[in-house]
Structure 1
């Protein structure tokens, strides 16, 4: 039984590990508690998560891979804003035509708003773990 429906927007860059980890933990908690997570939308600097060439420092958590695993295990779409992505070097097509990482899909604000309108709750992570 679904308790409530949610959409999460992540705006923090991948090097803001605290925000990324807290957003991921929040998403995992929502699903574990029986809620429906309709989408995780990556916007602003967070679009970098969707770049297949993303490399973090040695020893740092690979949040890109953790998001992909979470998405696959729970059938949650990871949507990246294609327009903003282009400003951060993201070619929102799968390789070889682009550099969109496996597990992410390109979308836009129109699709985000459409999904948001169908959700009961909206959670936004802007940086440094803020929600």
Structure 2
């Protein structure tokens, strides 16, 4: 259930990023002009992004641990941009998916996606009951 919620939140965040014109991030739907196809494409891209973050992102974070220490964690911004770019590259095989024009604009888009995920994660997280 958590994975599905994260995919929906990622899909919403990717959709918001596509609305920001200067970032040059687009989602090409299964069929143009159809709202349902756009939503399904966003959900598919978000699922691919979540899997890339889980599998490849974890490996990169383990390997790049010394860089995290040297840069005080700032390398995570570049790594998140790389993972977004990698997701765009993986969906390039099909005629639909995510398109990122430039790597550094992808880094900025990844920052926006992370902020939206963080905000919605706080809002949607179940509140723990206080123990008395």
TM value normalised by structure 2: 0.28
> Relative contact order: is structure 1 or structure 2 higher (C-alpha 8 Å, sep ≥ 6)?
1
Structure with more strand by fraction: 1
Give the structure with higher Rg (CA): 2
TM value normalised by structure 1: 0.28
